[in-house]
Chains A and B, each alone.
Chain A
Amino acid sequence: MAKVVAATGNEAVADALRQVNPDVSSAYPITPATDIMQRFTSFVSNGKVKTEMILVESEHSAMSGCIGASAAGGRVMTATSSQGLALMWEELFIASGTRLPIVMALVNRALSAPLNIHGDHSDGMGARDCGWIQLWSENGQEAYDNTIQAFRIAEHMDIRLPAMVCLDGFIISHSIERIEYLDDAAVKNFVREFRQLYPLLDMEHPVSYGPLILPDYYMEFRRAQAEVMTKVPKVVLDVAKDFEKISGRKYGLFETYRLDDAEVALVILNSAAGTSKDVIDSFREKGIKAGLLKPRLYRPFPYEEVGNALKNLKAVCVLDRADAFGGSYGPMFADIAASLYPYRERPLLINKIYGLGGRDYMPSHAELVLNELVEIAKTGKAKTLKEYIGVRE
């Protein structure tokens, strides 16, 4: 029987990891992800899981430990945030290039400098092209559900890629919500037994990891890796279908909210999508056809499906909780623009940067943006393509 609890996002992720009971975890504490591993190490100490816990001296070592353990043949997980993810940078590519299905909770936090511990997406967006699968989560429930599904997706025999589950630092990680937990047995049954493709510890079949691949072969390995990415969306949908059977909760590649007949829409990730939905409702009550699209599978990005869902709108605003300095637009804007590029008829797009370093995203911000979109839809002209909102002049 499922259990309804009042729990923080971190607590829910830690409980999901307890239920999955990975073989190995290698981790280093960093705010706001610390709490996940703090809770998980208590599970280890109290014998609630059989996980071999490796406490290391840095995130560089944490991910290195995960890589070694995963290659050895274990089911492996870790958690981090912000600077921790930045310090893992080279290992992130090694994990994906070596096709190791490590699962990581990324509690999104702003990058330094200036030093800040609060939620924004600059960490996850900075690592979006490192070959990992990225699932983004609006709330504690989605973080819990995505964590469990991430193991099945990453470990699928057609995929074998690492996956990170993103949730907003503090806003979700440290806020208590109503969350439905699945039974321990149901999760265990759902994630199944893990089998590594080429375990280093299989003495009967010796293998070598990490060879030098020179110009005569490097491109073939990269091409093969690109191909695997194209297979991810189908697996994500298949796993979501199975997950719905045990949870009753539906997941797709992205969520649409009142989008079908909409003329204007917001595209927004994670917790701020929740805030925006209320505002969408109030606009709908006023007779304005407003909708929302919230990406879930961000890497690989489902360009075709997203483009198809947005192509008939009149005006769309992509709200980025991270900026891409010198890249003109926020990172998600570039992806949404690319999704719509193949269509001759497409909505006018604008980009707003919001909520950096944990700055509150208020319903009034969503109202402001939606009003601007209504004006753009009417006139066919956008005044400013990109701007910061919720910032003092």
Chain B
Amino acid sequence: MKLKGWKEVTPGAVVTEGGSALKFKTGSWRAFRPRWIEENCIQCLFCWIYCPDMAVKVKDGKMTEFDYDYCKGCGICALECPGKKGNKAIIMEEEGK
């Protein structure tokens, strides 16, 4: 992407395009990585609702996988995950381990 010059930027840094977060991959910020444990998943989609970005991929009404291009590792999905019978379906693991 060619970077814009100062005469081309929007006044006040207002973002005038909806859904432009799609263009910015922020996965490299992550220190902790969510891991999905399918057998503990009840498909409540809390992870999808709570994810502040678009890191939870849903197909046909079901969680299918994480999109690590957009996951900053905030851990909200793991915190909110009710799991099954006390076992979390999402756990956070340190990157690089």
Contact = CB atoms under 8 A, between A and B. Distances in A.
B3 A224 contact: no
A54 B16 CA distance: 28
A211 B16 contact: no
Contact of A160 (B3, B11, B18): B11
Contacts of A211: 13, 15
A206 B13 CA distance: 14
Contact of B3 (A206, A216, A227): A216
A286 interface: no
A209 B14 contact: yes
B15 A197 contact: no
Interface string B1-30: 001111101111111101010000000000
Nearest to B10: A198
B46 to A, nearest CB: 25
Question: Interface of chain A, helix or strand or loop or mixed?
Answer: loop
Contacts of B6: 219-221, 223-224, 227
Contacts of B16: 198, 205, 207
A209 B10 CA distance: 11
A224 B11 CA distance: 8
Contacts of A207: 14-16
Nearest to A228: B11
Contacts of B12: 97-100, 160, 197-198, 209
A384 interface: no
Contacts of B15: 207-209, 211
A4 interface: no
A221 B13 contact: yes
B97 to A, nearest CB: 28
Contacts of A197: 11-12, 14
A160 B13 CA distance: 13
B11 A97 contact: no
Contact of A198 (B4, B7, B14): B14
A217 B14 contact: no
Interface string A85-103: 0000000000001111000
B27 to A, nearest CB: 16
B14 to A, nearest CB: 5
B14 A213 contact: no
A197 B5 CA distance: 21
B18 A220 contact: no
Contact of A224 (B9, B14, B18, B20): B9
Contacts of A160: 11-12
A215 to B, nearest CB: 11
A265 to B, nearest CB: 38
Interface string A124-150: 000000000000000000000000000
Contacts of B18: 206
Nearest to B16: A207
Contact of A220 (B9, B14, B20): B9
Interface string A192-234: 0000011000000111111101001101110110011000000
A97 B3 contact: no
Nearest to B20: A208
A160 B12 CA distance: 9
B11 A220 contact: no
A219 B4 CA distance: 11
A242 to B, nearest CB: 24
A97 B10 CA distance: 11
B7 A217 contact: no
A163 to B, nearest CB: 15
Contacts of B11: 99, 160, 197, 224, 228
Contacts of B9: 217, 220-221, 224
Contacts of B14: 98-99, 197-198, 207-209
Contacts of A219: 6
27 contacts: A97-B13, A99-B14, A197-B14, A198-B12, A198-B14, A206-B18, A207-B14, A207-B15, A207-B16, A208-B14, A208-B20, A209-B12, A209-B14, A210-B13, A211-B13, A211-B15, A216-B3, A217-B3, A220-B4, A220-B6, A221-B9, A221-B13, A223-B6, A224-B6, A224-B9, A224-B11, A228-B11
Lowest 8 CB-CB distances: which A-B pairs, in order?
A: A99-B12, A223-B6, A208-B15, A220-B6, A98-B12, A206-B18, A198-B14, A99-B11
Interface of B: 3-7, 9-16, 18, 20
Given A99-B14, A211-B15, 7 more contacts: A160-B12, A198-B10, A208-B14, A211-B13, A219-B6, A220-B5, A220-B6
